[in-house]
Amino acid sequence: MRIGLFDSGVGGFTVLKKVVELFPNTSFIYLADTARLPYGEKKSNEIMQIAEEISSWFNDQSIDVFLVACNTTNAIALDVIKNKFDIPVFDLIECVSSTIQESRVGVLATPSTVKTKAYTNAILNINPATVVIEQPCPEFVPMIERNNINSNEITDIAIGYLQPLLNQKIESLILGCSHYPLITPLLNEILPSTIKLIDPAEALSLKLKLF
Ligand code: DGL
């Protein structure tokens, strides 16, 4: 089996890492579109165009399964991608939304993802009583790409993003951008240990395993 996946940069490697743990002998093709990074503040039509181009490229790579390892593209252009392929397509948002147990859930994501409310809609679709609070984090991706993940600067920015979610008494927090698992240690330092961090790549890889 050959699996294809992509992201705007290093973020998709967090998804690849989880999937490789469950499929150690599988072959993967990973595309990092660093030329056009970051996706997180691009307009929907740009993201749809990018999704179309990348899906066309993967269509020529003889893959058996495609993973949408970028939440921003997932939120905006999943239909574009699904329409391009005749093979199974797995996405982060749908996979993780069906696993949410808590009644108050925070989501950290790019501004473009938050604008779509894709996480809120997907979670409420499964459990309408859930309270979902989405927080856009425009500064994270450029800092993570520069490996600026251990500074006072990113700590202060992270506190600013997390405080509104803490004020809302969230019980779990979805890392709704595939770059964010790379700052899990920083987030864990700021968050109380009672708040469960959720990496959507885990739900995606488990679903893939069942496939
Ligand atoms: N890692 C991507 C995501 O999951 C895109 C981040 C970006 O390029 O802004 O949303």
Helix (H, G, I), strand (E, B) or coil at 148: coil
Helix (H, G, I), strand (E, B) or coil at 77: helix
**7 CA distance to ligand 1 centroid (A)?**
7
Percent of the chain with pLDDT strictly greater than 90: 100
Question: Which is catalytic among the residues 177, 187, 201, 203?
Answer: 177
Q: How far is CA 123 from CA 31, 46, 57, 110, 174, in A?
A: 28, 26, 31, 18, 11
* Residue range 79-133, pLDDT digits in tens: 999 999 999 999 999 999 999 999 999 999 999 999 999 999 999 999 999 999 9
Residue 84 to residue 106: CA distance in whole angstroms:
32
* Residue range 158-198, pLDDT digits in tens: 999 999 999 999 999 999 999 999 999 999 999 999 999 99
Residue 33 to residue 56: CA distance in whole angstroms:
14
Confidence of residue 211 (pLDDT cuts 50, 70, 90): confident
The response to whether residue 116 sits with its C-beta less than 6 Å from ligand 1 reads: no
> Could you confirm whether 177 is annotated as catalytic?
yes
For the cut 90, the answer to whether the pLDDT of residue 207 exceeds it is yes
**40 Cβ contact partners less than 8 Å away, ≥ 6 residues apart:** 8, 72, 110, 111, 112, 113, 138, 141, 177
The response to whether residue 38 sits with its C-beta less than 6 Å from ligand 1 reads: yes
Helix (H, G, I), strand (E, B) or coil at 156: helix
pTM (global) more than 0.95:
yes
> Which residue from 14, 177, 198 has its CB within 8 A of the most atoms of ligand 1, so it is best to mutate?
177
CA distance between the termini of the chain: 12
Pair 113, 119: CB distance under 8 Å: yes
